């Protein structure tokens, strides 16, 4: 099972406490660890965290550098040692051209050190825009057909294999924190048949109980994928 998490509310969490926005992201990494523990205990196969969108770049360089710094520190000092001990696999999705060199180095290190692990897959999604992802993949397939003189229609499987998220399984359930009920362009292909859950908590307030409650509700849902069964 793939659980997708939209981590909204870190900035608001910090603001309510009179703290710099970066503190909200730091506290958010503690919530990430709680959710990872729950996913492992519940034997989920994959959990993905929506860290930042392409649109978040409009918040300015300072915000982008703060997010990058928090995740470099979190992955290097906290998450990688846990992954080595528990056999988790780290995976990263997004438009990497906009990421800092430090974050890219951390991503490369995390990939190389966990690539052969067979436990829970933990994906982090940075600088992502779902419409951009689909458009880039479609244009690549379309251009390759033109170059090779292949004039067949572009198919969904052809597009999917060239998307940033191609190696991730389809999303089974999504939870968004922060009180808003929107998907913000997150993994549009993968999320097509996902069950959607919305939580009013700001993300740093998230805990394991949220995931246990979600899975309990998820198991009650009859999933027909458009068929009559």
Instruction: Enumerate the active-site residues.
Output: 8, 56
d(CA 43, CA 119): 9
Which class for 36: exposed (0-12), middle (13-18), buried (19 or more C-beta within 10 A)? buried
Helix axis angle, 101-114 relative to 61-74, nearest 10°?
A: 30
Q: Which residues contact 104 (CB under 8 A, 6 or more apart)?
A: 96
Residue recorded with tokens 């703290």: 19
Which ranges constitute the DSSP H helices of the chain?
10-16, 21-41, 61-74, 80-86, 101-114, 130-147, 156-160, 208-218
d(CA 13, CA 23): 9
């Amino acid at each position: 099972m793939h659980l997708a998490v939209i981590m909204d509310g870190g900035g608001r969490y910090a603001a309510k406490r009179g703290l710099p926005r970066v503190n909200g992201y730091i506290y958010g990494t503690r919530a990430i660890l709680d959710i990872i523990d729950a996913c492992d205990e519940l034997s989920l196969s994959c959990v993905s965290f929506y860290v930042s969108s392409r649109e978040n770049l409009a918040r300015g360089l300072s915000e982008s550098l703060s997010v990058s710094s928090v995740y470099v520190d979190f992955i290097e000092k906290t998450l990688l040692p846990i992954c080595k001990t528990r056999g988790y696999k780290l995976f990263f999705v997004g438009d990497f051209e906009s990421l800092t060199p430090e974050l890219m180095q951390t991503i490369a290190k995390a990939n190389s050190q966990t690539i052969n692990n067979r436990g829970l897959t933990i994906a982090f999604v940075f600088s992502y825009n779902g419409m951009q992802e689909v458009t880039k993949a479609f244009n690549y397939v379309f251009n390759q057909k033109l170059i090779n003189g292949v004039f067949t229609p572009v198919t969904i499987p052809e597009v999917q294999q060239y998307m940033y998220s191609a190696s991730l399984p389809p999303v089974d359930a999504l939870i968004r924190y922060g009180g808003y009920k929107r998907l913000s362009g997150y993994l549009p292909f993968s999320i097509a048949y996902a069950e959607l859950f919305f939580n009013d908590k700001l993300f740093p307030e998230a805990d394991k109980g949220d995931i246990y409650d979600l899975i309990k509700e998820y198991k009650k849902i009859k999933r027909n994928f458009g068929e009559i069964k």
